[in-house]
Amino acid sequence: MSHLLKQQIEILDFHLRKPFLATEHGHPSEYKRMTMLTFLGSCREIGRSGFFIEEGKESVIVDYGVKFLNPPAFPPPVPLDTLQGVALTHAHLDHSGGIPMVLSDPDVSLFCTPATRDLTVLLLRDMDKISRGRLPFSRNEIPRVKRQCQPTAYEETVPLGHNFELTLFNAGHIPGSAMVSVRCNGKRILFTGDFNAIESRLNMGARKNLPKHDVVVTESTYARRMNPNREEIEIDLVDTVTETLERGGTVLIPAFAVGRSQEIMCILEASDIPRKYPIYVDGMARKVNDILVKHPEYIASPQAFSRAVKRSHRIHDNRDRQRAVKKGGIIISPAGMLKGGASHLYFKMLYDNPKNAIILVSFQIPGTPGAELLATNKVTVGNRDFEVDAEVKIHHLSSHSDSRGLLDLLKKIPGDPEFYVVHGESESCDALAEKLKKSGRRAHVPEVSESFEI
């Protein structure tokens, strides 16, 4: 079956599942105003976020992301003929990876912050490069993100079609990240996207005192975890780095290019380390730095960040890498869980010297080289097994609220909203829904393609 035919059948299925639409078309006199919310992804999983809101003959999409399976998986297709606009919470590909597909009509606008727009284009291009033609859209479709973007500031409200209004609120997750509030038919629906209520050196923290909402679609990534105190983690991180450098070692920090690398730079900038030792930045984090320097309004302390960027040394090639390792200092390099990228090249140069340190700064998903290294001090990189003599430490700088942070923020939203819990492992979604119910709230854990009348 051709891809297009399959897509048309799926779209037809989509309509047939919902008898209210048949009624609307078949018997106009019975038409009653109704808002439908359909979950397209991130149901009992992290990845391929997507939400579809229909009101009368108009619709809006919030997020349309990817899940990195083999081949990459996307939310199911939805009818695009009624689409009034697309809103994007933030640049991470599990939210933005399929956005070019829903911008096929050049008159449909994308609403997100300018920082999200620029970071999304960078990440989509990178995904295209590594996917080698396995994506359902082409490289030429990526510029739609820039062309069709209507840059939207936090707290700004924009009308959309006849029925909708959108407002973005700071989500505190990565620079430019937003919660999307959609107003239609007199009701307000909040999509939290990924959020962090705690202020960090890079991010200002999610908007406190959110306005009244009737429905809240929330993430639940760390619904079953408590994050240690932020200041203590930062102090421990700086201590590990200082100890390593003082004993003549080199520090490797494998970190995600968007958000985490900049967070590390800001934490180090606040210490006296950068005045004594060089800091090197490798991989896509360099381009992310360039983008964020141009959008200072999304950084907690823009001057400190811009100083940190100016001070850091950019790595361009293998000669630079060898020189950096030899000279000593701190190397910030993708990928986050030692999953590849330049971090492998550094690892092979640093692993066998006990003076060196490898510092992991995010949760290490089981099965990744980072998780293996932490548990056993051994790791398989490429096809080789390494016994690691360098010091290995984890200082987890979370960019998501933990179980207490999630509940604190959600319970404070006025209007006794109905909660839909997504974007977490299945157990995390259930755990957050249960906690909300225990505090007297209505909460559901939706399945993919499930629709609810709002």
Residues at the interface with Zn ion (CB under 5 A): 92, 194
Closest approach of Zn ion to the CB of residue 92, in Å: 3
- Give the nearer residue to Zn ion in terms of CB position, either 77 or 193: 193
In one-letter notation, the amino acid at residue 365 is: I
Closest approach of Zn ion to the CB of residue 46, in Å: 9
- Give the nearer residue to Zn ion in terms of CB position, either 54 or 194: 194
Cα separation values, 48 from 125, 205, 412, 423, 445, Å: 17, 24, 28, 9, 16
Whole-angstrom Cα distance, residue 219 to residue 12? 29
In one-letter notation, the amino acid at residue 37 is: L
Integer distance in angstroms from the first to the last C-alpha of the chain?
35
Pairing of strands 378-381, 215-218: unpaired
Closest approach of Zn ion to the CB of residue 49, in Å: 9
- Give the nearer residue to Zn ion in terms of CB position, either 120 or 244: 120
The answer to whether 100 and 145 are in contact (CB under 8 A) is yes
Closest approach of Zn ion to the CB of residue 34, in Å: 32
Of all residues in the shown chain, the one whose CB is closest to Zn ion is 92
The answer to whether 198 and 172 are in contact (CB under 8 A) is yes
- Give the nearer residue to Zn ion in terms of CB position, either 59 or 120: 120
Closest approach of Zn ion to the CB of residue 173, in Å: 6
Pairing of strands 384-387, 378-381: antiparallel
Closest approach of Zn ion to the CB of residue 90, in Å: 6
Closest approach of Zn ion to the CB of residue 219, in Å: 8
Closest approach of Zn ion to the CB of residue 172, in Å: 11
Question: Which residue shows structure tokens 């080289």?
Answer: 369
- Give the nearer residue to Zn ion in terms of CB position, either 92 or 441: 92
Beta bridge partners of 391: 357
Token pair for 175: 């620079």
Give the Cα-Cα-Cα angle 449, 450, 452 (nearest 5 degrees): 135
Whole-angstrom Cα distance, residue 337 to residue 118? 24
CA 441, chain centre distance (Å): 27
- Give the nearer residue to Zn ion in terms of CB position, either 207 or 393: 207
- Give the nearer residue to Zn ion in terms of CB position, either 240 or 362: 362
Give the max Cα distance, the chain: 80
Closest approach of Zn ion to the CB of residue 192, in Å: 11
- Give the nearer residue to Zn ion in terms of CB position, either 88 or 184: 88
- Give the nearer residue to Zn ion in terms of CB position, either 180 or 252: 180
Residues 6+ positions from 375 with CB-CB distance below 8 Å: none
Give the Cα-Cα-Cα angle 413, 414, 418 (nearest 5 degrees): 75
